[in-house]
Structure 1
């Protein structure tokens, strides 16, 4: 999978690539697919526990996990939007806090905490060397 590629996009690209191959065993296709997604994800574990027997089965299960991924992404967006709008309303209705004196700021350390955004990205997105 490519960086920031959704499972749905990857499955579409993988399916198109499989159609271009003239002769390939089902086992080979499944192994290539499995090696292309991030280990440790629920979808990967599902494939490991019960390998698909047909391409239809593989794509049906991938679609199921794609819908789950879409739901997680939509819920994350709703939380972010709700957080922004509730933050804006509370700022309008309350007095802003007193700002620290410049000498106090230096003692606090960096003005912004380090940002970690990994929780905003779907579980399977991971960089793989090609």
Structure 2
């Protein structure tokens, strides 16, 4: 579904965490991030996130768009498109605008799909109405 967009999103990766790299703590970036290693803590970027097949993340994850092929233990918040490949495993809640899940992917948690209209409606209290009684 997102294949063309995926290729465009990761042409210029600002940060690459290789398969032999382990990061502990809060990882914050502005650009695109590719993770093939291990992260424990939190991952936040205003760019795109790609999690490789061998990657293991135990963290809350926030990104603009994401392509997940590895394993994440923690809540995932994606402002745009989220794609889970057949090898993806997410153990935590997901909030995203758009999601594509391949057969074989595992999502063990709640999934909320949001957009600006839904977020704006959540903030407005519902009007109470009295039931109409007819005799």
| TM-score past 0.5 threshold | no
Q: Which one has more relative contact order, counting CA pairs under 8 Å at least 6 apart?
A: 1
Query: TM-score if structure 1 supplies the norm length?
Result: 0.22
